Amino acid sequence: MVKIFLYPLSWLYGLVVFMRNRAYDLKIFKSREFDVPVISIGNITVGGTGKTPHVEYLVNLLKDNYEVATLSRGYKRKTKGFRLVEAVSSAREVGDEPLQIKNKFPEVTVSVCENRVKGVEKLLEPGDVKSPDVVLLDDAFQHRRISPGINILLIDYNRQIKNDSLLPAGRLREGVYQMRRANIILFTKCPEEVTPIMRRILQNDVNLLPYQSLYFTRLVYGHFQPVFDAPKINEETYKDVSCHILVVTGIAAPKQMHSFIKKLGSHMETLSFPDHHSYNTGDINEIQKRFNKINSNKKIIVTTEKDAMRFKDMAEISDELKKAMYYLPVKIDFLKEEKKSFNNKILNYVGENKSNRELHKRKNSGKS
């Protein structure tokens, strides 16, 4: 019923977004191109498509052969401007997702800047940081001030967009027509098998264009890892029916994580907060209270990697909770035989454009 009153707001929002996109299409607003390969990863809906694991997949794919840099706005950080992310940075300074990437890939340049153009310019400036061979723009599908060489659009397999509405009545950031800007469309969080019929249905739903490629990925969960100084834990412990797990999340869509942990066989309770939640003392007290209520000698707390970055900032967490707190690692994998095709598309783009960039530099240096 509430949605009825939100539709006029969605119409006004849609008009503004349409006019903005139209201005870019007509070159009234300018998009900046860089001579370094740029790959954008984003979505057309609000939250919950698994952007960070996909950025990490690209980092892992490229890092052995290229100097990789990631750039995001650092959502909900308490700082402004361009910042390089260090392993000792806090989530308050740089955002939880960039800090997670830096902790996982310490050799990679990770940066944040709300102005993406200035961010890339800073990365390309001569200085202490080695100039990147490729820049990965995190959550940048709507940031049209930069024209990426490859635009990757993520869509949650479990939350289709064909019948969705624009904000605030629905979850769409912009109209589905704008999917045409994507070079690659990825359906994320898929089951282990997507039938050929379902693939064709989804291909028709997104109105796949001749220049676009469609792929399907799924989430792959790892083993629980300590957030602080909790002892290492083996599968037998948390798969024991007598083990009680309190799952604490501050992400947009925790359902798939809940389903995975529930299947382990242990007793599960959940405590969910909004996406990118900034935990405070009251939240920690609530977690402590829920943990104390669990009447079991075998009890642990499990959270996400992203939440773990935020918890590490908090001095309010008791030693008892620190010794019981783990995070659940997650990565993505492609269905069927799609991985090789996707990898080749990315590697060919970066390799060819890096070579063109180096040739251009040599020609210019020869003229001087």
The model scores a pTM over 0.85: yes
Please enumerate in sequence order all residues whose Cβ is within 8 A of that of 152, keeping only pairs 6 or more positions apart, or say none. 39, 40, 41, 42, 54, 182, 183, 184, 185, 186
What letter represents residue 30's amino acid?
K
Q: What is the mean pLDDT of residues 147-172?
A: 93
Q: Which of 30-44, 204-218, 221-235 has the lowest mean pLDDT?
A: 221-235
CA angle 306/46/57 to nearest 5° reads: 45
Q: Which domains does the chain have, with CATH numbers?
A: 2-220+333-367 (3.40.50.300), 223-328 (3.40.50)
Decide which of 237 and 46 is more confident: 46
List, for residues 87-123, the tens digit of each pLDDT value. Answer: 999 999 999 999 999 999 999 999 999 999 999 999 9
Q: Are 248 and 303 in contact (CB under 8 A)?
A: yes
List, for residues 338-364, the tens digit of each pLDDT value. Answer: 999 999 999 999 999 876 666 556 555
Give the strand order in the sheet containing 83-84.
83-84, 109-112, 68-72, 134-138, 38-43, 150-156, 184-188, 213-221, 330-334
What letter represents residue 275's amino acid?
D
Question: What SS3 state is found at 105?
Answer: coil
**Alpha-carbon distances of 277 from 13, 112, 116, 298, 310, rounded to whole Å:** 25, 19, 24, 28, 9
Q: What is the mean pLDDT of residues 236-258?
A: 88
**Residue with the two structure tokens 């950080």:** 77
How far does CA 265 lie from the centroid of its chain?
A: 29
Which pLDDT value is given to residue 300? 94
Alpha carbons 50 and 57: distance in angstroms, whole number: 11
Other residues' Cβ atoms within 10 Å of the Cβ of residue 319 = 9
Alpha carbons 320 and 113: distance in angstroms, whole number: 37
